[in-house]
Chains A and B, each alone.
Chain A
């Protein structure tokens, strides 16, 4: 080992550390989803199981929260994108002085803590509701409505930033040209500006949807008595975690990967070089079409779902259970024998029983979601709806098309 090879190793060492830092948690999360241990962990490895996915599908609270999150996500996109676009267009057309102050105003919601936005949204609409003497069933008190409104305040600003970077490259003489060619202002907008903004609209949509889906600190206030994916997860973290959360992570990672793969395939498929390569090779052209890739991935997903449904780990788990019982039995016997000398055995006992605890904990956790429903501080209007478990299909819930189209910003 001379000095030179050592210094050459530093960048690769750094890279290893960097990627470990980046992907380590994800890998561990994925592994824990298949460990039968009641607490999400890698070791001790008990049994390979797919039960957590089933548990997830049966977790009405989580599914309901996820459903709400998706509705809210779509609502936020629908409201925030037009607002962001309008703001960006306006900023691109006003004079520099007005632009500076308008920009500050538009951007302010991003700088305001989410908690403040959440609280103030809640209070504001409550005041308005009270003013109109609206009943509690009205939308002034609806968690979905309030959350959409609350999230839009800052997500519209995010999307505006995306639009601004694109619109700055727009040549406004194109709009003038369209007008001169006889287009009405609406036609000029729809036929010239909107197509130019399309890539930005795509990325802003994905960004807004994801920002809405993962938002917690605003949502936790505005959701009132309802729940979203994040609020359910956070209450799970507080009141007891089981690997069904890892199962959620596996699904999200899978969807992201699928989306990224299809997107990348599309990019390469559309590249000028590749178009030339496949020009006279129809078979290769079909094989590399992003649709083909998507179909292959869909088959793989279906296979995975089938495997998850059919895999049965009960034999292994029963064996583990027996082992643990035997261990516990043994420990109890040991304790009984060593009662006369309490000092050391007592210590061993606590140390040795530790592996058994999670097993007990697992039992608690299994019932945790149901327990939570009763223990939440806010009034629960109705119990978790039973129908929410039936439509569950891993692919549909996350609606791949919502995630798989992060379009390029290829200007």
Chain B
């Protein structure tokens, strides 16, 4: 029952403005797929293309191998969960859930039965007669999901459905959403600007910027092996050091960033023609990859000065100055305080933790 979705060279243009350019990807049936990107990157437009509220200017959207051109949103096997949930305020919880059945002419008894089933699924058994306004944020969330599932769509589209919830509830709903997805086995397409949501829930993630899909991969790949400078700087935190490529033997790239010795980087762009010696490049190093140097020879070592500390409870984020460049280092708060603010600090990182990429636009902080 789950269908594959493929976007083939999809462009969406609004007059002069290009909202989506050349989106080309396939989402497998039963997959939890996320579009991650800053606001205005075109992810919602892409979602509207799939749900049928927006026709692509160019390209084809296929669901289950069928071209969806000219098929209205009410005729597509998709259900969309809106950012504001769009629950009908004048209807009871059960009537909301049964709405898709109602418009299909299903009789009242069957409707009620299905609504009760779904209420059980979302752990709101017996609350069908409540008004929407009587529910909490998380409950509303679940009602919206139940309503979308009422007619057993092939694909569930979620447009930042958790953004209005508070932190605790959001974290709880992440687990719950993932559990529901596993339980019903549908394809979930999830739109978010919150990388935490994307990383924890998704099978695969497409990172988007300015209408372009920058990288597609599972959470680990996106985080550990970002394909572009944008992905490296948008997903998680990263320190950026501009530098020049000194040598590239295919596995090891040597980068001169002006911080002491050239850095040896094992994690880098591999496509042809990238990172040729002499090229400018960007080197990324995650805050948690930096360590206080312990004297291992195979690690890249440099010195910097303490600036300030941001304390976050479990983590301590140390802001450092390395020859005029601001760096951030994160360490677990294990009760020790190895940093003495007065003297220069020697740091190091493993070659495989450094990321070298051709220069490109970064995510704005």
Chain A, 151-200, CB within 8 A of any chain B CB: 171, 173-174, 176-184, 187, 191-192, 195-196
B322 interface residue per 8 A CB criterion: no
Chain B, 325-352, CB within 8 A of any chain A CB: none
Q: Which of B79-87, B251-259, B283-291, B298-306 sits within the interface?
A: B79-87
Q: Is the CB of B53 within 8 A of A181?
A: no
Q: Is the CB of A182 within 8 A of B80?
A: no
Give A181 to B86 CA distance when docked, in angstroms.
11
Q: Is the CB of B86 within 8 A of A174?
A: yes
| Per-residue B-contact encoding for A338-371, CB less than 8 Å = 1, 0 else | 0000000000000000000000000000000000
Q: Which of B26-34, B70-78, B115-123, B172-180 sits within the interface?
A: B70-78
With a cutoff of 8 Å between Cβ atoms, the chain B residues found around residue A176 in the complex are 53, 73, 80, 82, 86
Q: Is the CB of B53 within 8 A of A192?
A: no
With a cutoff of 8 Å between Cβ atoms, the chain A residues found around residue B147 in the complex are 181
With a cutoff of 8 Å between Cβ atoms, the chain A residues found around residue B75 in the complex are 182
With a cutoff of 8 Å between Cβ atoms, the chain A residues found around residue B72 in the complex are 179
Chain B, 34-69, CB within 8 A of any chain A CB: 51-53
With a cutoff of 8 Å between Cβ atoms, the chain B residues found around residue A181 in the complex are 74, 79, 99-100, 103, 147-148, 150-151
Give A155 to B148 CA distance when docked, in angstroms.
41
- Closest B residue to A173 by CB, please name it: B86
Give A196 to B75 CA distance when docked, in angstroms.
25
Tell which of A171, A174, A191, A196 touches B103, judged by Cβ atoms closer than 8 Å. Answer: A191
Q: Is the CB of A180 within 8 A of B78?
A: yes
B365 interface residue per 8 A CB criterion: no
Size of chain B's interface in residues, with CB distance under 8 A? 26
Q: Is the CB of A182 within 8 A of B86?
A: no
With a cutoff of 8 Å between Cβ atoms, the chain A residues found around residue B148 in the complex are 181
Q: Is the CB of A195 within 8 A of B90?
A: yes
With a cutoff of 8 Å between Cβ atoms, the chain A residues found around residue B84 in the complex are 171, 173
With a cutoff of 8 Å between Cβ atoms, the chain A residues found around residue B309 in the complex are none
Q: Is the CB of A191 within 8 A of B102?
A: yes
Q: Is the CB of A182 within 8 A of B74?
A: yes
With a cutoff of 8 Å between Cβ atoms, the chain A residues found around residue B83 in the complex are 173
Give A174 to B88 CA distance when docked, in angstroms.
7
Give A171 to B151 CA distance when docked, in angstroms.
23
Max chain B Cβ within 10 angstroms of own Cβ: one of A171, A184, A195: A171
Q: Is the CB of B103 within 8 A of A178?
A: yes
Tell which of B79, B89, B90, B104 touches A180, judged by Cβ atoms closer than 8 Å. Answer: B79
Q: Jot down 24 A-B pairs with beta carbons below 8 A, ordered by A.
A: A171-B86, A173-B82, A176-B53, A176-B80, A177-B80, A177-B82, A177-B88, A178-B103, A179-B73, A179-B74, A180-B51, A180-B52, A180-B73, A180-B79, A180-B80, A181-B74, A181-B100, A181-B103, A181-B151, A182-B75, A182-B151, A183-B99, A184-B74, A195-B90
Other A-B pairs, 14, CB within 8 Å; known A178-B99, A182-B104, A183-B99: A173-B86, A176-B82, A177-B82, A177-B88, A178-B103, A180-B51, A180-B52, A180-B73, A181-B150, A182-B100, A182-B103, A182-B151, A187-B103, A192-B88
Which 10 residue pairs spanning A and B have beta carbons closest together? A177-B86, A181-B100, A183-B103, A173-B86, A180-B80, A187-B103, A182-B74, A180-B73, A179-B73, A179-B74
